Amino acid sequence: MKRRDSLKAITLSSLGFAGLNPQIAAAESIVPPDIKPVKIPGGRQKFEAERDAKLKADKFFTPHELRTVTVLGDIIIPADAKSGSASQAGVPAFIEFMMKDQPQWQTPMRGGIRWLDNVCVKRFEKKFADCTKAQQIEIVDEIAYPAKAKPNMSQGVSFFNMMRGFVATGFFTSPIGIKDLGYVGNTPNQWEGVPADVLKQYNLSYDE
Amino acid sequence: MDVPQIKKAAKVYDVVIVGSGAGGGMAAYQLSKAGANVALLEAGGYFDPADPKYINQLKWVYESPRRGAGTTRAFGDFDAAWGGWEIEGEPYSAAKGTEFHWFRSRMLGGRTNHWGRISLRFGPDDFKRKSLTGIGEDWPLGYEDYAPYYDKVDDLIGVFGSKEGLRDAPDGRFLPPPKPRLHELMIKKAAKGIGIPVIPSRLSILTKPIHDRGGCFYCAQCGRACQAYADFSSSSVLCIPAVKTGRVNLINNAMAREVLTDAKTGLVTGVSYVDTLTMTEQAVMGKVVVLAASTCETARLLLNSKSPRFQNGLANSSGVVGKYLNDSTGASRSAFIPSLMDRKRYNEDGVGGAHIYTPWWLDNKKLDFPRGYHIEYGGGMGMPMYGFGFGMEGRNNMVPGRDGKPKEAGGYGADLKDDFRRFYGANIGMAGRGEPVPLESNYCEIDPNTVDRYGIPTLRFNYKWSDAEIKQAKHMQDTFEEIIHAMGGIPLGKKPGPENNYGLEAPGKIIHEIGTARMGNDPKTSVLNKYSQAHDVKNLFVVDAAAFPSQGDKNVTWTILANSWRTSDYIIDQVKQKNI
């Protein structure tokens, strides 16, 4: 048996027999000698480090789904004069991780992409990611503005709201996004109060 | 499988302390400094905020693959607390129709590693609620008993604040407070204009270094634990120095099972516990036992310590153990402040928490609820974390675009990207934290059907808010909107109403629970005397918030510290007098 297959077999038999025969379960729980223990980064608990390593090794999105998320992400946050795009900031990989970290998002995400593809196939005979830019924007315009969206697009609105949130979080928590936003903290500092010019701008003072 | 053998250590300690949070840490510190040999049991692992192994402080949000989301830590991926509302293998339950959420932190220092550092003294009236209002219970002690200990705690641990001369919020021995941030100045101006006081916060954060600890370097991350020891956590400020005396044997991963008693004398002799790493049964013996396992864990331990002599649980001849459980009330609201759009950027991290707060300012005699609350504030240009940008479709039509034209909510593209920049730092939040009325009908008890992974019977909660707390939450919501409107702000979301108890958080959610082994002068209605000594067992003490008859609208940590110090002095005195 190949090593990979023997590991699979161990997992299966553990699931099947652990409750019946503790000796077998105990024997199988011994970690094979060539599996390296997970390195625990500072500030993490062991179970967290192990969980993160497993999540990073797993895959959720299919290549098509990942491509769709990437296209949509860059429509939501494109590159502009000030900074790069969602995909340049690594947003698709962040969303991939969150799907595994918080599985309650999996159905709305996977189903939402499917909903989008279905609408596009009906209208353009192509899935969203394969549509022309103009076709993609035509659909996005119909789901990106909740107040003016047609009732038959309401599920798309919900999906787009979710995507907008994930893309914004992913982008603005990345090095590119933090620089764009202008957050300048997270460093040893002395707090001397609000700068004088800002106080003046808001007509406030520390003497009141 | 063999029945586990309990391994009793031969050594008899002067004191065995269960729990290393604020109460246990202070007792370990004071008793060891006085020369006692102490065994300090902690259910969780070792933790030192200065050891790189444990440091999350100054990490960037993108160093977390979930960008700080609270998947495995309720208060976010960088929060210092290990544990949370749910711990695998350590269940609890609630009786039908009732609710309680129990946050536990399994680590040296317990929940003090991530708390808000809000360090308020009780006011004189907080000890006399029954006399003053006819409901609730008086303490067997008054402000004058605690004042010298509050002073000593201020000096030992450090707290910033300002002298205000308010009767209900007594001044302490304060370090200088940090100046308010921009949104805090705006809140202060608006609130003062409608008669609501706003004063500097009182937080145990060192704006000046004291006792070899570092000064605050203003990263706003106290909740991650401070590597400079510039804030108070029991691990860094009390437990680690106590261990350095050489007289404290800190036993980590020790989940207490029972307090052991002598069948003849009825005195406690030690504590049995499970070593959670080896899953072996252990016991440590002592002349005095001090419980500080946290309000509910202490009650659980007492109720589980049954013997022929103490059939109702230890120190429970009154039947009061577990009863009068009460948590702070909590309700909150957030708002968007249009005048804060397009802000100039600068580092306004400040200390970990608000630089201002509102102490209770009204007279309950003129209101339809009997107890007060204080208000905590949030906002500013903090590090963007998981959740940033969600919900923009409910926000970006509230004000015109850069071109002055009305905007459609939602959107995408360069225009949306620009909105995130424009709205950054323009939100504020406010949260009320109020005093509940302690009720006998709110309690925890041993669940007859359930044990944890160590085989220790678990807790079942019975807790319902009363009208007093719901009306208080209604008042909070009205106040929040008044302040928001006075600032020219726009409240976010729908105003909470009667359909959800005005946003009143579920019991336990504020993590300020107290009262399950309350002190009093009458052994029939209380568990402990005014020295936090069990009425029934003279060498048993409780120094966490289980001992408190009520909690004021003041976060109780400072009173836990003062009371634990006072109790420690009493223990030292009683040992000297050979009474225990």
Residue in A172, A190, A192 to test binding to B, most B beta-carbons within 10 Å? A172
- Predicted ipTM? 0.94
- Looking at residue A35, its pLDDT comes to 59
- Looking at residue B487, its pLDDT comes to 97
Q: Given pLDDT bands bounded at 50, 70 and 90, which one contains residue B8? A: confident
- Kindly list the strands in the beta sheet with B443-451, ordered across the sheet, starting from the edge strand earlier in the chain: B93-94, B457-462, B443-451
- How many CB atoms neighbour CB A3 within 10 A? 9
A94 and B71: CB-CB below 8 Å? no
d(CA B557, CA B545): 8
Average pLDDT over residues B99-117: 97
Write out pLDDT tens, residues A23-76.
334 444 444 555 567 899 999 999 999 999 999 999 999 999 999 999 999 999
- Looking at residue A33, its pLDDT comes to 52
- How many CB atoms neighbour CB B347 within 10 A? 17
- Looking at residue A7, its pLDDT comes to 38
Please give the residue of chain A at the shortest CA–CA distance from B187.
A204
Q: Given pLDDT bands bounded at 50, 70 and 90, which one contains residue B7? A: confident
Per the CB < 8 A criterion, the answer to whether A131 and A118 are in contact is no
**Locus of tokens 């225009």:** B415
Strands B280-291 and B6-18: parallel
Domain ranges of chain A: 3-56, 62-181
The alpha-helical segments, DSSP class H, found in B260-326 are 295-304
d(CA B554, CA B202): 11
d(CA B463, CA B327): 10
pLDDT over threshold 70, residue B344: yes
Q: Which two tokens stand for residue B552?
A: 């004021």
The secondary structure element, H or E, covering residue A177 is helix A175-181
A164 and B82: CB-CB below 8 Å? no
Average pLDDT over residues B77-104: 97
Average pLDDT over residues A198-208: 92
Q: Given pLDDT bands bounded at 50, 70 and 90, which one contains residue B4? A: low
Q: Which CATH number fits domain B1-54+76-115+120-141+233-328+438-465+514-580: 3.30.470.30, 3.40.50.300, 3.40.190.10, 3.50.50.60?
A: 3.50.50.60
B386 and A173: CB-CB below 8 Å? yes
B58 and A198: CB-CB below 8 Å? no
Write out pLDDT tens, residues A12-33.
333 333 333 333 344 444 445 5
Q: Say yes or no: A11 contacts chain B, CB-CB below 8 A.
A: no
Q: Which of A160, A193, A201 sits opposite B179 (nearest CB)?
A: A193
The mean pLDDT of chain B is: 97
The secondary structure element, H or E, covering residue B16 is strand B6-18
Average pLDDT over residues B512-521: 98
Write out pLDDT tens, residues B117-167.
999 999 999 999 999 999 999 999 999 999 999 999 999 999 999 999 999
- Looking at residue B6, its pLDDT comes to 74
Percent of chain A with pLDDT over 90: 80
User: How far off is chain A from B347, nearest CA to CA, in Å?
Assistant: 5
- Contact partners, residue B424, CB within 8 Å, separation at least 6: A181, A182, A183, B343, B381, B384
Q: Which of B347, B349, B417 sits opposite A80 (nearest CB)?
A: B417
Percent of chain B with pLDDT over 70: 99
pLDDT over threshold 60, residue B311: yes
User: How far off is chain B from A35, nearest CA to CA, in Å?
Assistant: 22
**Residue A23 in 3-state DSSP?**
helix
Average pLDDT over residues B327-349: 97
Q: Which of A52, A184, A186 sits opposite B58 (nearest CB)?
A: A186
Per the CB < 8 A criterion, the answer to whether B364 and B371 are in contact is yes
pLDDT over threshold 70, residue B229: yes
- Looking at residue A21, its pLDDT comes to 39
Q: Say yes or no: A201 contacts chain B, CB-CB below 8 A.
A: yes
A172 and B55: CB-CB below 8 Å? no
Write out pLDDT tens, residues B535-576.
999 999 999 999 999 999 999 999 999 999 999 999 999 999
pLDDT over threshold 80, residue A5: no
Residue in A116, A164, A198 to test binding to B, most B beta-carbons within 10 Å? A164
User: How far off is chain B from A23, nearest CA to CA, in Å?
Assistant: 12
- Looking at residue A37, its pLDDT comes to 77
d(CA A35, CA A53): 13
d(CA B217, CA B92): 40
d(CA A180, CA B570): 59
The mean pLDDT of chain A is: 87
Q: Say yes or no: A173 contacts chain B, CB-CB below 8 A.
A: yes
